[in-house]
Amino acid sequence: MGFLQTSRTPLHPVALPHAGVEMVANPSVIFMDEPTSGLDARAAVIVMQAVKNVSRNGRTVMVTIHQPSIEIFETFDAMVLLQAGGRVRAY
């Protein structure tokens, strides 16, 4: 498990222990299920900025995320919203 420290927050365990190992294989597509779950707002922003940096290196990154802050929401390049039953609500 990695740790994240910022000037505003204490050490936070980052719940992405397998992500780093999987990224070493350099996949073209990465799927992350709630990578900010359990983090405070500032740590969540830092994690999503790191995820954004991964996408800038030519990888497709797909994440599920619930109730993102506006700062996190604005990092997304594209979005698919699903309704109950898995139907696409908006793209």
32-43 confidence digits (pLDDT tens): 888 888 889 999
Question: pLDDT-derived band of residue 71, with 50, 70 and 90 as boundaries?
Answer: very high
The parent domain of residue 48 ranges over 2-90
Q: What angle do CA 9, 14, 15 make, to 5 degrees?
A: 145
Higher local confidence (pLDDT), 48 or 4: 48
pTM: 0.68
CB neighbour list of residue 77: distance below 8 Å, 6 or more residues apart: 55
pLDDT for 72 equals 93
Indicate which CATH number applies to the domain containing 35.
3.40.50.300
Q: What angle do CA 57, 23, 41 make, to 5 degrees?
A: 80
pLDDT for 2 equals 42
Q: Are 19 and 51 in contact (CB under 8 A)?
A: no
C-beta neighbour count of 91 within 10 angstroms: 7
Q: Look-up: residue for tokens 């993102």?
A: 68
8-61 confidence digits (pLDDT tens): 444 445 545 556 666 677 788 988 888 888 889 999 999 899 889 888 988 899
Total number of domains constituting the chain: 1
